[in-house]
Structure 1
């Protein structure tokens, strides 16, 4: 009889420990979610439709900053004829295509 009593005691101790660990991990998750900044959850995306008025303008630092702000882009990339560019799509980036003279010919997100 003592052997089965100790086995039951060990089993109950393991169950209790498992319950405590499960409760600890469950209680952490909602706290982490509640503490997260909602702005981090949904980064702003670029909308090139809002900046098409800049086509035909000479590219300058001012124009680049204004186009980025108006489109909601978090970053910009200027592409000149013959420039190599990665093919990765970044919904937060505004691509500004210019001709050899530095005139904006296309604005697109990605």
Structure 2
């Protein structure tokens, strides 16, 4: 009994050592996407009224895009209805 209790204590201690708090990674906003989140849900035509100071890529459903990551580029995704569904850097 004493041996079992000791073994359980050791195993519990080892299990506790293996647990690591998840690392929180905050998104970077090098392209200003955070301040434009209010556009999500709006028709894509609203983009024609905005003057952007950085490169912008508007991605429509099924459109082929390059996989390169450009932190200063604003990527705006639209849905089939022509509404903005996502705004992010890259």
TM-score exceeds 0.5: yes
Between Structure 1 and Structure 2, which shows a larger proportion of helix residues? 1
2:68 is aligned with 1:83: no
Aligned residue pairs: how many? 61
Note the C-alpha offset of 1:101: 1.5
Counterpart-to-counterpart distance in 2, 1:65 and 1:94 = 16
Secondary structure of 2:44's match? coil
Q: Secondary structure at the match of 2:67?
A: coil
Q: What does residue 106 of structure 1 align with?
A: 86
Whether the aligned pair in 2 keeps the contact of 1:95 and 1:109 (CA below 8 Å) is yes
**Larger RCO (alpha carbons 8 Å, 6+ apart):** 2
Deviating 4+ runs (over 6 angstroms): none
| 1:55, distance to aligned residue in structure 2 (A) | 0.3
Runs of at least 5 residues in structure 2 that lack an aligned partner in the other structure? 1-29
Which structure is larger by alpha-carbon Rg, 1 or 2? 1
Counterpart-to-counterpart distance in 2, 1:81 and 1:63: 17
TM-score, normalised to structure 2's length?
A: 0.59
Q: TM-score, normalised by structure 1?
A: 0.49
Could you say which residue in structure 2 is the equivalent of 1:55?
Answer: 40
